[in-house]
Homo-oligomer: A and B are copies of this chain.
């Protein structure tokens, strides 16, 4: 079986280079190229791909449109973003759109070849700089400390409040009385220094519940 691959890249020179890299990573690959969103979407309309290298900054839009189209046509398609933009917005946007990898084109081709090869084995291709950035993001959003020493039951109640349940609904799911729920909420309010359930919901999501 040969691998149907799509390379979306506006600059001709870069497009050739990526094709070279692709051919080296997988000689059996059947390579199709597109210089812009329009042609890429036209091709994707009547053809299915297994792997795609997608540039983001294209003259007629963002490569993410194509990525979504490819994923819709074939959810198993491996869509790898290959760009020179390493800013947070681009990375997060690409991952949110369903990208299976994020490679920076300012890397030695040998490294790109290796990462594309690994992709086929299920290893998510992430350029080192991108991996570091993602981990740093977790380091900032991760700290789930400051638990405000809530009791397990309080944490549980707060979790349901954060999901938008009413007191009587929480009571029903936990099998306790509504008054009890209200009592737990009161102590949560006291411990968190708040006085409304919207604030409670905010803290709940912040505490990862």
CB within 8 Å of B: which residues of A? Answer: 92-93, 95-96, 98-100, 122-124, 126, 128, 131-132, 134-135, 138-139, 142-145, 161-166, 194, 196-202, 205
B92, A144: Cβ atoms closer than 8 Å:
yes
Cβ B199 vs Cβ A144 within 8 A: no
Q: Which of A135, A164, A166, A198 has the most B CB atoms < 10 Å from its CB?
A: A198
CB distance from A89 to the nearest CB of B (A): 9
Taking CB as reference atom, which chain B residue is nearest A196?
Answer: B164
Query: CA separation between A132 and B164, bound complex, in Å?
Result: 30
In chain B, what residue has the closest Cβ to A197? B198
List residues of chain B with CB within 8 A of the CB of A123: 128, 131
A143 proximity list for chain B (CB < 8 A): 96
Which of chain B's residues has its CB closest to A166's CB? B196
